A and B are shown apart, each in its own frame.
Chain A
Amino acid sequence: MNLKMNLPALVVVFPFFSAMMMVAIGIFNRKVVPYIFQITATITAYFAFSLLIEVYTNGPIRYYFGNWIPPVGIEYYVDYLNILFVTIIASIFFVMSFYFPLSVRKEIPESKSYIFYSVTTLFASGLLGITITGDMFNIYVFTEISSITAYALIAIGGNRRSYRSSFNYLILGTIGASFIVLGIGYLYMATGTLNLLDMQERLQHVYNSKITISAAAIIIVGLSLKMALFPLHSWLPGAYAHSPSTISAFMSATSTKVMAYLLIRFVYTIFTPNFATKIIPITDIVMYISLIAIIAGSFLALGQKDLKYMFAYSSVGQIGYIVFGAMLINANGLIGSIYHFLSHAIVKGGLFLVAGIIFYNFTNTKIEITNGLFKKMPFTSIGFLIFALSMIGIPATSGFISKWYLVMGAIETGNWIGVTVILLSSLLTAIYFWRVVDRIFFKAPDDDVKFNEPISMILPTYILAGCSIYFGLFPHQLVNYAQKAVLLLMETIK
């Protein structure tokens, strides 16, 4: 009973303390740390799922830390929207935790591995914290927890490029975070509260104040930097391409998306669409930027010679989809956006896992080495094919559902440019993935060395591939959940 009541806190706090424990234990015994990591991931996922069930049966939860009632105390606010995100992050963390040990043994020096596990767990707890918290300053703190750990994790990548990428990300990420905290300061100045719902209430009276308007502008810029919205994306490709495989998989699945979640939170819950569309046209501006991002990301991905770089640039495009759907201010568009969050987390995470398996065998991920890969690593290749089809948005994969809703939302709002851009970029995606698919399946291999496909790496990849197909074939339940979340968000429009 007590456990149930404290679930919102446990989801974040448990991995947080577990991360501390890992260091403490790791100093004495490094061997156990991977197991602790595994257990942590499992329990966190369990908490997240129980919370999901709890929220969908009993409605949103407002959890007061130490029973201090807001606005004095800190609140964890779990509604239909962020519980989805929490569950996605926790489950991706769980699925990938199987993948970690082998990959880590390959890529991380033995003496540092326990710290690596610890920092990864801390990173995950930071992301979970961002999504679940209902307090503005808490958002900033968790953003920084996840960012600082991310800088460290990227730098662990081993070659000197990873140091440089990490440093780039550090500079831009810190600027972004400073903007966010500055914007939060403005909002605090205008309302005198840091609690989400409280602020929504009080902001309504100061919509026309210059403080609110500049707060909105500053926060949007900060978030765009953190989520790598084109043209503020320059940190992302290096960071994904040069970090350890496990980290690029986990980060690509979650970190920029969490910032997109924050964008939805800010636009819908805090500023409310009434402000964001009528007082200043933020949503329109960001929407058009996101369209440019979609096209630009796809074009940039076309020219890459390295798988990881290609995936990273494609992420730049895909984040555009999520933002576009959210900025339409339309129920179907928002459902598409939420669904794409899930779909892309699964698919891009999976693609980076595939890249990780290739790296495990070849110690690089250049596209030219994939010639005839199907003969050498059949399971990996088929996994890649499934993810590629999902990226393109072929029916019966999860990518199709999100595209369906995004197009639907765009048509409903009469945004035909958006329709064209989304579909055009599917084709670009098809082109740059098909380049690789052709190499893998239809080119003769350069030699016939058989390669090793460890089960502990294949299994998580296939779980994600299976999820992608499952959510492509049976999206019904999840769409219902998303609809519920969207209805709650759209209530503020009235």
Chain B
Amino acid sequence: MTETVYSLLPIYAVLIPLILPIPIYLFRNYPNGREFFSIAGSLATFITVFLIYTKVKTGISLEYTLFEFLPGLSLKFKVDAFGTYFALMASFLWFLTTFYSIGYMRGNKEKNQTRFFLFFSLSMFAAISAAFSGNLLTIYVFYEIITFSTYPLVAHKQTKEAIQGARRYLSYLLLTSVLLFLPALVYTYYAAGTLDFTLGGIFASKENVNKSVLGLMLLFFVFGSAKAAVMPFHLWLPSAMVAPTPVSALLHAVAVVKTGVFVIIRVFVYIYGLDFLKTISTSNLVTIFAAFTIIVASMVALRQDNIKARLAYSTISQLSYIVLSVSLLSITGAIGAIFHIVAHGFAKITLFFWAGAVYVANHKTKVSELNGIAKHMPYSMAAFTVGALSMIGFPPMAGLISKWFIATGAVEGSKPWVIAVLVISALLNAGYFVPIFINAYLKKPEPEHNHSHLHEAPKLMLVPMLITATLTIFIFFYPEFFLKLAKLALGIGG
């Protein structure tokens, strides 16, 4: 069994991004100083999280109770393997994205850059805190903070379109979390008397629980955590694409949306417990909804001409892989779900980095405008290729491994039809990425335009992109690093 140790480390890890806005604000008139703090802060956060990792991998979990929030219910951090796993990925990618966003913001000459970095840091504070949360209430608190701290980022351009998109973003996330998640949360507390994450669930030992209500609450949790974008509550994600690309890359491909699925996995594995869920029929419904989302979102993605919209629908579909995988209720499926968080995270951030690079360097936002672009941006396109192939599930990219686990999990969970979903979805994924390849590599640029201005992205953007692309391949060859944590999180191996 894992032992629990009292530690201040998680506090440091979240305090850094929390107080980082202060120097950022103070240096608002000195961009170089401001950016130095952004980089230093994100690096410090990553190092702290890595320190936590070195402790957690030995099988202990770190705990720190902030204070008693309500009688019998406290706000607390409890860092187990799963939390570390998520925080590690988020803080590492934050570090990379910081460079990228500096390149993007400067290359694009955006206004209000101080506000941008300030809220970026706050969002990461909330995301990492959510990863470290020790009970469902704490995670809910930070879940809402993420929603509000990302709002200024989505509305960053302050155009009418941006504000409208941001409003839809806010209203979807708020509507679902308040109307579905909160009652489910309160009911859980009422029924179980605790909200602490416990491997195997908190209901298992309880008798006289009303299973039909709990089944309904499971659906409330899944849809209430709308950051996971399970249809029909997915529309906020395409609207959020009005945000600057670094935001879309880190927050809407990694931190925000992954918090959504993170919460769902927490609920499945640590609140309900996989075994207990086998007695609740609505978990099948979750599988069906997720499968539906995978297929339909991919089909919608086929029709999007805007690059970011296409990527957004691809994200929706990929997120449902994770939901689907955990709803299979088998250990292998759960491993697949956890692994896919990282596999998709690295691949999708690469793709978004690429989209931002194309926009900054050449001001192109549509798939149909990409003709012959590979000649001018060879490195970026190479990174894109890696990311896209990982999405489709080609070896040797990380995406294949998670798909393998999901398929095995489907057999174990006796839902073999899920494999068919995976196959169809892989084909559809290919369907919406291949046109980009064709346009970029094979087609000739249209002659009437002057192409002398087409060029490669700035180095500050290119390097992070190449790193994430390399890591996507790297993970395929050395998945053990992440798999070990995933297994630890589920209480097997160690």
Binding site for B on A (CB under 8 A): 389, 392-396, 401, 403-404, 407-408, 411-412, 419-420, 423-424, 426-427, 430-431, 434, 438, 441-444, 473-476, 479-480, 483
Contact = CB atoms under 8 A, between A and B. Distances in A.
Interface string B181-198: 011001101100000000
Contacts of A431: 171
Given A407-B183, A411-B183, A427 B67 contact: no
B472 to A, nearest CB: 35
A476 B163 contact: no
Contact of A396 (B67, B145, B186): B145
Given A424-B179, A426-B178, A442 B140 contact: no
Contacts of A420: 179
B182 A423 contact: yes
Nearest to B183: A419
Contacts of B179: 420, 423-424, 427
Given A396-B145, A427-B178, A427-B179, A476 B171 contact: no
Contacts of B145: 395-396
Interface in B130-169: 140-141, 144-145, 148, 152, 155, 158, 163, 167
B477 to A, nearest CB: 42
Contacts of B144: 394-395
For the residues of B in contact with A, the DSSP-based class is helix
Contacts of B187: 411
A475 B70 contact: yes
A420 B68 CA distance: 28
A395 B140 contact: yes
B170 A434 contact: yes
Interface in B26-67: 67
A120 B325 CA distance: 64
B69 interface: yes
A218 to B, nearest CB: 36
A411 B186 contact: yes
Q: Which of B70, B141, B152 has the most CB of A within 10 A?
A: B70
A472 to B, nearest CB: 10
A356 to B, nearest CB: 26
Contacts of B204: none
B140 A408 contact: no
A483 B186 CA distance: 18
A474 B170 contact: no
B175 interface: yes
Contacts of A423: 178-179, 182-183
A395 B141 contact: yes
B70 A404 contact: yes
A407 B68 CA distance: 20
Given A404-B186, A407-B183, A427-B175, A476 B67 contact: yes
7 contacts: A401-B70, A427-B179, A430-B170, A441-B152, A442-B163, A479-B71, A483-B71
B174 interface: yes
B68 A476 contact: yes
A392 B141 CA distance: 14
A420 B182 CA distance: 11
3 smallest CB-CB distances across A and B, nearest first, come from A395-B141, A407-B186, A423-B179
